[in-house]
Amino acid sequence: MQKKFDRGLERTRWLAGITVFAVLGLVGMLANPYVISLMTIVLLFTFLGQSWNLMLGIGGQLSIGHALFVGLGAYSVGVLYVKYGISPWVGLLTGMILAGSVGASIAWLSFRFEVRGIYFALLTIAAAEFARIMFSGWEFVGAMQGLFFPAPTGGIEISMLRGDARFYYFVALALAALGIIGTEFISRSYLGYVWRAMRDDESAARALGVRTFQHKILVISISAATAAAGGGVLALVQGSIFPDSIMGMGLSVDVLIGPVVGGLGTTFGPLVGSLAAIPLNHLMSALGDSLRIPGLNNITYGVVLISVVWFLPDGIWPAIVRLCKAIQAPPTALLWQSRKVEE
Amino acid sequence: MTTLLEVENLSRSFGGLVAVKDVSFSLRAGRITALIGPNGAGKTTCFNLVAGALKPTSGRVLFEGRQIDNSPPETVCRMGIARTFQIVRPMREMSVLENAMIGAFSWTRNVSEARSKAYESLESVGLAAKAHARTDQLTLPDRKMLETAKALSTRPKLLLLDEVMAGLRPTEAAGIVGVLQKLAEGGLTILLVEHVMRIVMEVASRVVVLHHGAKIAEGSPGEVVADPKVLESYLGAGFHA
Ligand SMILES: Nc1ncnc2c1ncn2[C@@H]1O[C@H](COP(=O)(O)OP(=O)(O)OP(=O)(O)O)[C@@H](O)[C@H]1O
Ligand SMILES: [Mg+2]
């Protein structure tokens, strides 16, 4: 019976996924420029959140310095395009390889010397800050003055990944869909199983033959490479790159808000979380401006974050899933699920 | 019969405490051997040394003639040694079935193959009906059986079981004893830590006795329970086999 129930849930998931993306597609075609630009950011941070979520939610490795990888992706696209006119596609690929290698190197060094858990997380901040400071002083990449993409000419140029706001909305939508499908795919493959095992209990996983050293490096480099892809597109969308915003601590935090609010380790969590958090932030920021209450957005943001963590500690998405299960499942199944066996 | 595992003069100390002291024994393929001794005798430490979770202070461990005491646990597992943890370690966010699948990924990358191996392992320890439960819905004896199923999914040649029958009712324990005997008939070698002497007498063809980290006796179950040193240090004066 459990199996049949799971299959029903499975169908609901697919339906929900397709509906959500159909609606997002319509939004892209019909919405006004403000909504389009806001939703582009939501979708990009869905993708970035997905990348971060893969690493912590499935692989069990906490990064608080994801801005490093985002920044490497952005600068790869920016430098190659602005300085040499090379297509952003090449820049994206370069950024992914670069960030993947940097991620793998940090992971290798760290785990080789048994730096793990929260100490590893501190190392990721240190690496990101180091890179930010380095890029801030590096004239070739524009230092503090940043890099500027030439203004778009109007038309859509797929080969150069250039176009108007609506074009970038659909690029971001494709990226978010790819992130969700990719996460689901990895999650169901053997990698998903061994990574979750490693996340839940590293030494028990090793006793079952999981080569955790290699797998940690793998999950971190995949996460880094995908974050770089998101960073590359983010740079194109914003039209400029500044070290403080693209590689700063603030960006590292923005990346993890979506999955933390939406649901750690879940496939849809980053989307749900970004949808909830980013528009709220913008709305409160606008409201704060018109009411002349500076910082209103940050206060609201903080209150909402704390409430979510307090009332829905595993995030919004798992709460939605629980609700759906409660509506669909026969009461006996609910009884069985809530019964805790005493030890 | 061939020797599968050789433990040679194995010692391990923690600071000033010598947990395992110059222990030697060997395991023959296809047999069930019991490792017994009072609390703190060094049984779990011995397991950790064999499984690569701890490095010995001195001495060697040979598996199929190859020295393994410098290998990390995942390598030892992939060579064919699986172990359970005395203090159970389920992967909490994964279902019972998913827990039992992990070990199979040491020899396959095919998810459905791993899933059917996991069902088979769960079946053999009597947990198949609870495959879709969460691990926190299991009783402690069931969690110990899950440890066993997880280890079985790695397709081991040697299985190290650390008090997996603790807390089972006698009829349940008898069922597991039957399973272990069948596995041994199929060629699996088992080293078992067990406090219930009745079970030891029933399943083990050989017994190794540890006391304060040192081996004080080894032999058939009958020989061991008749040994005055064992009677005095472990079984107590009132024991009758
Ligand atoms: N990691 C460790 N650090 C320090 N001391 C340890 C460690 N592991 C075990 N010991 C000590 O080594 C001795 C042997 O412990 P071990 O767990 O091997 O005994 P055991 O025979 O398995 O006992 P039990 O029957 O209680 O499980 C004990 O004195 C224990 O306190
Ligand atoms: Mg023990």
| pLDDT tens, position by position, A252-301 | 999 998 998 898 888 888 999 999 888 888 888 888 888 888 888 788 87
A10 pLDDT higher than 80:
no
B121 pLDDT higher than 90:
yes
B237 pLDDT higher than 80:
no
Residue A287 in any domain: the answer is no
pLDDT of amino acid A312: 86
* Mean pLDDT (whole number) for B125-142: 93
Number of compact structural domains in chain A: 1
Residue A55 in any domain: the answer is yes
Nearest-CA neighbor of B118 among B142, B92, B148, B93? Answer: B148
Average pLDDT, chain B: 92
Structure tokens at A173: 């939508």
Residue of chain A with shortest Cα separation from B100:
A208
Query: B162 phi and psi, to 5 degrees?
Result: -105, 95
Among candidates A2, A197, A342 on the partner chain, residue whose Cβ is nearest the Cβ of B94: A197
pLDDT of amino acid B236: 67
Confidence class for position A319, pLDDT limits 50, 70, 90: confident
Rounded to whole angstroms, the Cα distance separating A317 from B212 reads 53
Confidence class for position A328, pLDDT limits 50, 70, 90: low
Can you give the pTM of this predicted structure? Answer: 0.90
* Mean pLDDT (whole number) for A20-36: 90
pLDDT in tens, A45-64: 999 999 999 999 999 999 99
- Which of chain B's residues have a Cβ under 8 Å away from the Cβ of A207? 51, 53, 73-74, 77, 82-83, 85
CA atoms within 13 A on the CB side of A83: 13
User: Among A51-65, A148-162, A218-232, A261-275, whose mean pLDDT is lowest?
Assistant: A148-162
pLDDT of amino acid A205: 97
Instruction: Report helix angle A33-53 to A249-262, nearest 10.
Output: 80
* Mean pLDDT (whole number) for A222-251: 95
pLDDT of amino acid A115: 87
Residue A230's identity, in one-letter code, is G
Residue, of A293 and A197, whose pLDDT is higher: A197
The CATH number of B1-80+156-241, from 3.30.70.330, 3.40.50.720, 3.40.50.300, 3.40.30.10, is 3.40.50.300
CATH number at residue A197: 1.10.3470
- Which residue from B43, B87, B196 has its CB within 8 A of the most atoms of ligand 1, so it is best to mutate? B43
pLDDT in tens, B85-95: 999 999 999 99
- Domain limits, chain B: 1-80+156-241, 90-154
Q: Which helix (H) or strand (E) holds A342?
A: none
B74 touching chain A per CB within 8 A? yes
**In Å, how far are A158, A233, A341 from A170, measured between CA atoms?**
12, 11, 49
pLDDT of amino acid A343: 27
**In Å, how far are B20, B53, B75 from B5, measured between CA atoms?**
17, 16, 15
Non-local (6+) Cβ contacts of A178 within 8 A are A47
Residue that is written with structure tokens 């892809």 in the block: A229
Residue A339 in any domain: the answer is no
Nearest-CA neighbor of B145 among B123, B164, B171, B167? Answer: B164
Nearest-CA neighbor of B147 among B29, B47, B14, B25? Answer: B47
Answer whether B53 sits within 8 Å of A199, measured CB to CB: no
Residue, of A96 and B195, whose pLDDT is higher: A96
Residue, of B140 and B111, whose pLDDT is higher: B111
Name the minimum distance, in Å, from the CA of A313 to any CA of chain B.
15
Write out the residue range of the structural domain in which residue A76 sits. Answer: 2-248
Q: Which helix (H) or strand (E) holds A221?
A: helix A212-238
Residue A270's identity, in one-letter code, is P
Rounded to whole angstroms, the Cα distance separating A202 from A117 reads 11
Structure tokens at A101: 């290698």
A192 pLDDT higher than 90:
yes
Torsion A257-A260-A261-A266 (CA) sign: positive
* Mean pLDDT (whole number) for B105-127: 96
Answer whether B102 sits within 8 Å of A205, measured CB to CB: yes
Answer whether B102 sits within 8 Å of A210, measured CB to CB: yes
- Which of chain A's residues have a Cβ under 8 Å away from the Cβ of B94? 193, 196-197, 200
- Examine the predicted complex and report whether its ipTM is higher than 0.85: yes
B33 pLDDT higher than 60:
yes
pLDDT of amino acid A309: 80
DSSP B70-100: TS-HHHHHHHTEEE--SS----TTSBHHHHH
A331 pLDDT higher than 70:
no
pLDDT in tens, B168-226: 888 888 888 998 999 999 999 999 999 888 899 999 999 999 999 999 999 999 998 88
Residue, of A342 and B206, whose pLDDT is higher: B206
Torsion A71-A74-A78-A79 (CA) sign: positive
Answer whether B139 sits within 8 Å of A211, measured CB to CB: no
Average pLDDT, chain A: 88
Confidence class for position A333, pLDDT limits 50, 70, 90: very low
Rounded to whole angstroms, the Cα distance separating B204 from B206 reads 5
Contact A308, A261 (CB under 8 A): yes
Collapse the DSSP code of A272 into the 3-class scheme (helix H, G, I; strand E, B; otherwise coil) and give the result.
helix
pLDDT of amino acid A340: 36
Among candidates A190, A203, A206 on the partner chain, residue whose Cβ is nearest the Cβ of B111: A190
Query: B138 phi and psi, to 5 degrees?
Result: -90, 150
Collapse the DSSP code of A247 into the 3-class scheme (helix H, G, I; strand E, B; otherwise coil) and give the result.
coil
Residue A293 in any domain: the answer is no
Confidence class for position A190, pLDDT limits 50, 70, 90: very high
Residue A259 in any domain: the answer is no
Confidence class for position A65, pLDDT limits 50, 70, 90: very high
Residue A329 in any domain: the answer is no
